[in-house]
C-alpha cells in the first residue's frame, strides 16, 4: 500500500477510536443518571422490642420476672454473667431519617423487680406519629361529595325514591328479584 493511503487509514482509525471513547464517556454518564433516577426500594429495619412510656409506667418495684415479661415482652439481651439484669434495646433504621435507638435496663434482686433505668420512652401515640412516611404526608382527598358538588349534577329520574322521602305520593318501585337463573345449563 502507498504511504499516503497508510497515513489515511491510520488517521481514520484514530478518529474512530476517539469517537468510540467519547461515546463510552457519554454512555457512562447517561447510565449513571439513569441509575440515580431509579433507586431500589429500601425497607425499614426494626430490631428489638419497642417499649412505650405507658409500659414503663406500669412497672412497679416488687413485681416478679414473669410480670415484667408480660408488660415489656421478652428482653433482647439477658447477660450470662448478670442474671439479675435484662436489657431492652430498640433500634429503627429508616431511609432518609435519623436512626432511633432506645434502651431500658431492668434490674432484679432475688427474682423481684428492684429498679429500672434507661432512655426517656415515647408514648405509643408519639411513636406511631413518628412512623408516618413521606407518602402519607400528602393531603388525603375528600371521599364524600358536598351538597354544592351534588347540585351540579341532575338527579336521575329512574332512581328509586327511598321510603322515607316517598310518603305515598308515588307508586312504590318494583320489588327486587329474589331468585336467579341457574349458573349451569341443566339437561
**pLDDT one digit per residue (tens) for the chain, 187 residues:** 566 677 777 877 787 766 666 666 555 666 666 666 677 778 888 888 889 999 999 999 999 999 999 999 988 888 788 889 999 999 988 888 888 899 999 999 998 999 999 999 998 888 888 776 555 555 666 778 888 888 888 777 665 555 555 555 555 566 666 777 777 776 6
pLDDT of residue 186: 66
Q: What is the pTM of this model?
A: 0.50
Q: From CA 116, how far away is CA 59, in angstroms rounded?
A: 9
pLDDT of residue 139: 66
73 in the Ramachandran plot: left (φ > 0), alpha (ψ -120 to 50) or beta?
left
Q: Is residue 114 helix, strand or coil?
A: strand
CATH top-level class of 45-132? alpha beta
pLDDT of residue 146: 85
Q: From CA 50, how far away is CA 46, in angstroms rounded?
A: 9
pLDDT of residue 40: 78
pLDDT of residue 127: 85
Question: Within a 10 A sphere around the Cβ of 23, how many other Cβ atoms?
Answer: 10
Amino acid at each position: 500500500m502507498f504511504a499516503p493511503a497508510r497515513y489515511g487509514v491510520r488517521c481514520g482509525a484514530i478518529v474512530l477510536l476517539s469517537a468510540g471513547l467519547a461515546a463510552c464517556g457519554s454512555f457512562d454518564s447517561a447510565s449513571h443518571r439513569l441509575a440515580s433516577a431509579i433507586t431500589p426500594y429500601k425497607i425499614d429495619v426494626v430490631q428489638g422490642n419497642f417499649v412505650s412510656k405507658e409500659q414503663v409506667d406500669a412497672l412497679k418495684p416488687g413485681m416478679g420476672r414473669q410480670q415484667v415479661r408480660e408488660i415489656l415482652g421478652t428482653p433482647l439481651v439477658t447477660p450470662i454473667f448478670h442474671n439479675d439484669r435484662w436489657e431492652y434495646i430498640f433500634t429503627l433504621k429508616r431511609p432518609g431519617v435519623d436512626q432511633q435507638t432506645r434502651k431500658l435496663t431492668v434490674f432484679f434482686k432475688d427474682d423481684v423487680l428492684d429498679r429500672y433505668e434507661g432512655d426517656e420512652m415515647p408514648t405509643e401515640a408519639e411513636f406511631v406519629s413518628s412512623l408516618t412516611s413521606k407518602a402519607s404526608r400528602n393531603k388525603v382527598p375528600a371521599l364524600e361529595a358536598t351538597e354544592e358538588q351534588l347540585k351540579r349534577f341532575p338527579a336521575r329520574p329512574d332512581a328509586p325514591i327511598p321510603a322515607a322521602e316517598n310518603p305515598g305520593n308515588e307508586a312504590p318501585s318494583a320489588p327486587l328479584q329474589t331468585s336467579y337463573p341457574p349458573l349451569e345449563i341443566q339437561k
